[in-house]
């Protein structure tokens, strides 16, 4: 079977972890993607700027984390932040009108999608693959975005048809069960920032 679309995965990658690598591999396999662009955001508009490592450092670390994965490209989502997905995805879709794209995100991101700028327009722009993450299945499947676009949900058994659907179309992909998170890594690296200092 021929390969389908190019996946777009946005993120802070602050820092990247093996859960991100597993997410890319899972989405590529389940959607039969011919490539993945990993878009490193200078700044998530909903997160505090204070906690961020420099963009170039995060890009280099994300490239290292994705090393050896064929057809995976890591690039800045934009030169500077904050990045709004509706803009950064539109830019890529307009630049390559003949490419099928699928926007990929973890279940936690989909659960909060209704807080993103013009999120309905984003859902109407490209098909979206939502990938399972421990603790976020119900939150994602009962989220405002899931409810608003209930009719656009594609059953998981038809995931391979997602790329040729007209948006809005989204599909929940099960089977990834990775606990890693950047927050947990930052907390281990610098517990003082997270109120976890020992009293002694």
Ligand X SMILES: Nc1ncnc2c1ncn2[C@@H]1O[C@H](COP(=O)(O)OP(=O)(O)OP(=O)(O)O)[C@@H](O)[C@H]1O
CB atoms within 10 A of CB 75: 13
Nearest to 158, CA basis, from 176, 170, 140, 146 = 170
Residue in the block written with tokens 């878009």:
39
- Cα(185)–Cα(12) distance, rounded to whole angstroms? 13
Tokens representing residue 198 in the block: 């020992």
Pair 175, 130: CB distance under 8 Å: no
* Single residue of 77, 101, 110, 154 touching ligand NCN by CB under 6 A: 77
* Single residue of 7, 42, 81, 106 touching ligand X by CB under 6 A: 106
Q: Considering only the C-alpha atoms of the chain, give the largest distance between any 2 of them, rounded to a whole number of Å.
A: 61
Q: Which stretch binds ligand X (CB under 6 A): 11-19, 29-37, 71-79, 152-160?
A: 11-19
Pair 145, 122: CB distance under 8 Å: no
Q: How many angstroms from the chain centroid is the CA of residue 34?
A: 17
* Single residue of 25, 32, 63, 117 touching ligand NCN by CB under 6 A: 117
Q: How far is the CB of 103 from ligand NCN (least distance, A)?
A: 9
| 183 contact choice in ligand NCN, ligand X, none (CB below 5 to 8 Å, kind-dependent) | ligand X
Pair 128, 85: CB distance under 8 Å: no
Site for ligand NCN contains 46 (CB under 6 A): yes
* Single residue of 4, 83, 132, 143 touching ligand NCN by CB under 6 A: 83
* Single residue of 113, 133, 149, 167 touching ligand X by CB under 6 A: 133
86-105: contacts with ligand X (CB under 6 A): 105
DSSP classification of residue 135 = T
Nearest to 21, CA basis, from 180, 170, 127 = 180
Site for ligand NCN contains 49 (CB under 6 A): no
Site for ligand NCN contains 62 (CB under 6 A): no
Q: Which stretch binds ligand NCN (CB under 6 A): 4-12, 18-26, 51-59, 170-178?
A: 4-12
Site for ligand NCN contains 102 (CB under 6 A): no
Q: Which stretch binds ligand X (CB under 6 A): 14-22, 71-79, 114-122, 157-165?
A: 14-22
């Amino acid at each position: 079977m021929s390969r389908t679309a190019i996946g777009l995965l946005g993120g802070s990658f602050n820092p990247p972890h093996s859960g991100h690598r597993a997410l890319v591999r899972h989405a590529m396999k389940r959607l039969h993607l011919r490539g993945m662009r990993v878009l490193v955001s200078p700044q998530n508009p909903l997160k505090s700027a204070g906690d961020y490592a420099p963009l170039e450092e995060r890009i280099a670390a994300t490239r290292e984390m994705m090393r050896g994965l064929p057809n995976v490209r890591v690039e800045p989502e934009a030169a500077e932040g904050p990045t709004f997905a509706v803009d950064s995805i539109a830019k890529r879709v307009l630049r390559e009108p003949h490419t099928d794209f699928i926007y990929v995100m973890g279940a936690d991101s989909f659960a909060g999608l209704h807080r993103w700028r013009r999120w309905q327009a984003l859902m109407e722009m490209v098909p979206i693959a939502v990938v399972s993450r421990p603790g976020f299945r119900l939150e994602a499947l009962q989220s405002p975005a899931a409810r608003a676009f209930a009719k656009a949900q594609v059953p998981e058994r038809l995931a391979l048809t997602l790329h040729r659907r007209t948006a809005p179309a989204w599909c929940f992909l099960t089977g990834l069960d990775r606990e890693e998170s950047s927050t947990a890594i930052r907390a281990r690296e610098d517990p003082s920032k997270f109120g976890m200092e020992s009293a002694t």
